[in-house]
C-alpha cells in the first residue's frame, strides 16, 4: 500500500461531506479527496420535497458547507467526477476520465438511486423522479403550469410532493400498490393518519392499484392507466416507488453486498481498508443485534463521524437509535426506533389522534420498539431514550397523557 495515499471518499453528498468533516475534526491532516458525480457541492436532500419545492427556501440554504469550507479544510473536492472502478488490491479508484487515485483508506458514501418504472410509457416526457436539486426545480416548474398530477407511490416522496402540489393549487391523484401509505414503515394504524391527512387536503387516494401504463400524447405523459382499465388523466406523473442502494462499485470489487454494502458496527466493509456510510451501508447495529440499512437524513448525518474515527483507527461504533422526520401540510413528525413490517404486537396512541397531535408507540409485548411524535415537540430525545433502553411499559399508563414520559425511562 502506498503510505502517501489519500483518504478517499466516493460520493459527495451529506454522508461524504460529513465524513470529510469528521476526518478533519479528529485531527487527520493528510490528504482527503472527496469525489462526487453531481456538479453541485454536497447538499441536503430533505428540502427538495419540502421547503425548497414549496419555494420557501432558497438553494444556498441546502448546502452542507459553504464553498470556502473545502479549501479552508484542505479537502480536495472533485465534482462532476464519477468513480467507475475500485481495485482493492492496488488501493486505487478509477474515474470516468481514466485517471486513478490511490487511497490508504476509502469510504463509499454512494447513496442510492430512485427505482425507475419500466412499464409502457415510462420514458415519456413529464414522468418525473425526485432525487437531485434539478429534479426538484423541474417539479416546481411543473406545479406552476400543471392543473393535475398523478403521483405513483405513497411513500415519503409521493406524500411530500403531493402535499407540495396541493399547496401550489394542483389537483393530485395518488396511486399506491399497497393498501395504505407508508404501510411497511408505520403499520396499518399510523398509516391511516397519513391517509386521512391527505384526504382532508383534497388528494384523491387510490390504494391497492396496479399501474399498467403511462399514456402519452406528443411524447408527454397525459395520464396513467391502471390494470383494471381505469384511466387517471394527469398533466405530469411523479414517481416515488423506492430506491436501490448504489452498490455497483463494491459489488464489482468483490466486497460483501446484501441489500447494501455490508459493514460491521465500525462501518468497516469486508475489506479492512474500505468503509461505507449513509444510504448505501447495511451496517450491523449492536443495539438491534442485526444489520440494517437506513435511508434517512439522520443516519447520513451521523454515521460518517463513526466511519471517520474508525478509518483513523479509533474505537468507534455506530449505535444511534434510527430517526427520521417528515413535514406535510401542517403536520410535522419525528420517529425514533426500528420496526420491521409486522414486527410489533400493538400500537399505543397517547394524545389527540383526530387532531393529529399525539405520540404513537410500537410495542412488542411490553417493550417499546419505536415512538413517533406528531405535532408535539421536544419529546423525541425522551422517546429515543425509551427505545434505546428497551424499556418495558404498561400500555394503559403509556397512553395516559397525565403520566410523564420520563416515567418510562428504564
Ligand X SMILES: Cc1cc2nc3c(=O)[nH]c(=O)nc-3n(C[C@H](O)[C@H](O)[C@H](O)COP(=O)(O)OP(=O)(O)OC[C@H]3O[C@@H](n4cnc5c(N)ncnc54)[C@H](O)[C@@H]3O)c2cc1C
Ligand Y SMILES: NC(=O)c1ccc[n+]([C@@H]2O[C@H](COP(=O)([O-])OP(=O)(O)OC[C@H]3O[C@@H](n4cnc5c(N)ncnc54)[C@H](O)[C@@H]3O)[C@@H](O)[C@H]2O)c1
Range 47-86, binding ligand X (CB under 6 A): 48-49, 82-83
**All three cell numbers of 6:** 489519500
Asked if 348 and 370 count as a contact pair (C-beta separation under 8 A), the reply is no
Q: What span, in angstroms and rounded, lies between the C-alpha atoms of 136 and 143?
A: 11
Residue among 175 and 316 whose Cβ is closer to ligand Y: 175
Cα 210 to Cα 221: distance, rounded to the nearest angstrom: 17
DSSP state letters, 1-25:
--TTPEEEEE--SHHHHHHHHHHHH
The contact mask relative to ligand X for 251-290 (x = CB under 6 A, - = no) is ---------------------------xx-----------
Q: Of these partners, ligand X, ligand Y, none, which one is at the site of residue 307 (CB under 5 to 8 Å by kind)?
A: none
Interaction with ligand Y in 6-65: which residues (CB under 6 A)?
49
Note whether 37 binds ligand X by CB under 6 A.
Answer: yes
What's the burial of 365, exposed, middle or buried (CB within 10 Å: 0-12/13-18/19+)?
exposed
The distance of closest approach from Cβ of residue 326 to ligand X in the complex, given in angstroms and rounded to an integer, is 5
As given in the structure block, the three cell numbers for residue 228 are 383494471
Our CB check for ligand X shows the closer of 121 and 304 to be 304
Of the candidates 176, 222, 235, 295, which one interacts with ligand X according to CB under 6 A?
Answer: 295
Q: Which window, 1-9, 138-146, 153-161, 380-388, contacts ligand Y (CB under 6 A)?
A: 153-161
CB atoms within 10 A of CB 28: 17
When asked if residue 241 is in the footprint of ligand Y (CB under 6 A), the reply is yes
CA separation for the pair 325, 298 (Å, rounded) = 9
Query: Of the ranges 235-243, 245-253, 280-288, 340-348, which one interacts with ligand Y (CB under 6 A)?
Result: 235-243
- Per-residue CA distances from 5 to 26, 82, 102 (Å): 18, 19, 5
| One of 7, 324, 338, 358 touching ligand X (CB under 6 A) | 324
Q: Does 243 bind ligand Y (CB under 6 A)?
A: yes
CB 177, min distance to ligand Y, A = 4
Q: Cβ closer to ligand Y: 101 or 241? A: 241
CA 52 to chain centre: 17
Which cell is 229 given?
382499465
Q: CB nearer to ligand Y: give 54 or 395.
A: 54
User: d(Cα 315, Cα 176) in Å, to the nearest integer?
Assistant: 44
Q: How many whole angstroms separate alpha carbon 175 and alpha carbon 75?
A: 44
C-alpha cell at 75: 479537502
Of the two residues 126 and 326, which places its CB atom closer to ligand X in the complex? 326
**The only residue of 143, 324, 344, 408 in contact with ligand Y, by rule CB under 6 A:** 324
Cβ pair 87, 94 in contact under 8 A: yes
Residue 33 found at the interface with ligand X (CB under 6 A)? no
Indicate whether 295 belongs to the interface with ligand Y (CB under 6 A). yes
Beta-carbon contacts of residue 77 (< 8 Å; ≥ 6 apart): 12, 34, 36, 41, 70
**Applying CB under 6 A, which of residues 128, 150, 180, 249 lies at the interface with ligand X?**
249
The answer to whether 226 contacts ligand Y (rule: CB under 6 A) is: no
Minimum CB–partner distance for residue 343 and ligand Y (Å): 17
- The H helix count followed by the E strand count for the chain is 9, 25
Contact 369, 396 (CB under 8 A): no
Please say whether the beta carbons of 233 and 160 come within 8 A: no
Q: Which does 225 bind (CB under 5 to 8 A by kind): ligand Y, ligand X, none?
A: none
Residue 110 interacts with ligand X (CB under 6 A)? yes
What is the CB neighbour count within 10 angstroms for residue 65? 18
Given the rule CB under 6 A, which of 108-116, 171-179, 185-193, 379-387 is the region that contacts ligand X?
A: 108-116
Residue ranges that bind ligand X, judged by CB under 6 A = 10-16, 35-38, 45-46, 48-49, 82-83, 109-112, 130-131, 246, 249, 278-279, 295-298, 300, 324-326
Residue ranges that bind ligand Y, judged by CB under 6 A = 49, 152-158, 160, 175-178, 211, 240-243, 295-296, 324, 326
Amino acid at each position: 500500500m502506498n503510505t502517501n495515499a489519500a483518504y478517499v471518499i466516493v460520493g459527495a453528498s451529506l454522508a461524504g461531506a460529513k465524513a470529510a468533516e469528521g476526518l478533519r475534526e479528529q485531527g487527520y491532516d493528510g490528504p482527503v479527496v472527496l469525489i462526487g458525480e453531481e456538479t453541485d457541492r454536497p447538499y441536503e436532500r430533505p428540502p427538495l420535497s419540502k421547503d425548497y419545492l414549496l419555494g420557501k427556501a432558497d438553494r444556498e440554504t441546502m448546502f452542507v458547507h459553504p464553498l470556502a469550507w473545502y479549501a479552508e479544510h484542505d479537502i480536495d473536492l472533485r465534482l462532476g467526477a464519477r468513480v467507475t472502478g475500485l481495485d482493492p488490491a492496488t488501493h486505487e479508484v478509477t474515474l470516468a476520465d481514466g485517471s486513478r487515485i490511490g487511497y490508504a483508506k476509502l469510504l463509499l458514501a454512494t447513496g442510492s438511486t430512485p427505482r425507475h418504472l419500466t412499464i409502457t410509457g415510462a420514458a415519456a416526457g413529464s414522468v418525473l423522479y425526485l432525487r437531485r436539486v434539478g429534479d426538484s426545480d423541474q417539479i416546481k416548474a411543473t406545479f406552476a403550469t400543471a392543473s393535475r398530477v398523478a403521483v405513483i407511490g405513497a411513500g415519503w416522496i409521493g406524500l411530500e410532493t403531493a402535499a407540495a402540489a396541493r399547496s401550489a393549487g394542483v389537483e393530485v391523484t395518488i396511486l399506491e400498490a399497497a393498501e395504505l401509505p407508508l404501510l411497511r414503515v408505520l403499520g396499518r394504524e399510523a398509516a391511516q393518519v397519513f391517509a386521512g391527512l391527505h384526504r382532508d387536503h383534497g388528494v384523491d387516494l387510490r390504494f391497492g392499484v396496479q399501474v399498467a401504463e403511462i399514456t402519452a400524447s406528443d411524447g408527454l405523459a397525459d395520464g396513467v392507466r391502471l390494470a383494471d382499465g381505469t384511466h387517471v388523466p394527469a398533466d405530469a406523473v411523479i414517481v416515488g416507488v423506492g430506491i436501490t442502494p448504489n452498490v455497483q462499485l463494491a459489488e464489482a470489487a468483490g466486497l460483501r453486498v446484501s441489500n447494501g454494502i455490508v459493514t460491521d458496527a465500525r462501518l468497516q466493509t469486508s475489506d479492512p481498508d474500505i468503509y461505507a456510510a449513509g444510504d448505501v451501508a447495511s451496517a450491523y447495529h449492536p443495539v438491534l443485534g442485526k444489520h440494517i440499512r437506513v435511508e434517512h437524513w439522520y443516519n447520513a448525518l451521523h454515521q460518517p463521524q463513526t466511519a471517520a474515527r474508525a478509518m483513523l483507527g479509533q474505537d468507534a461504533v455506530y449505535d444511534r437509535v434510527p430517526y427520521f422526520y417528515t413535514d406535510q401540510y401542517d403536520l410535522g413528525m419525528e420517529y425514533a426506533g426500528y420496526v420491521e413490517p409486522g414486527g410489533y404486537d400493538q400500537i399505543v396512541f397517547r394524545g389527540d389522534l383526530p387532531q393529529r397531535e399525539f405520540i404513537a408507540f410500537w410495542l412488542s409485548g411490553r417493550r417499546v420498539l419505536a415512538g413517533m411524535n406528531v405535532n408535539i415537540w421536544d419529546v423525541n430525545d425522551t422517546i429515543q431514550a425509551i427505545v434505546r433502553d428497551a424499556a418495558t411499559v404498561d400500555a394503559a399508563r403509556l397512553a395516559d397523557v397525565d403520566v410523564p414520559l420520563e416515567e418510562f425511562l428504564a
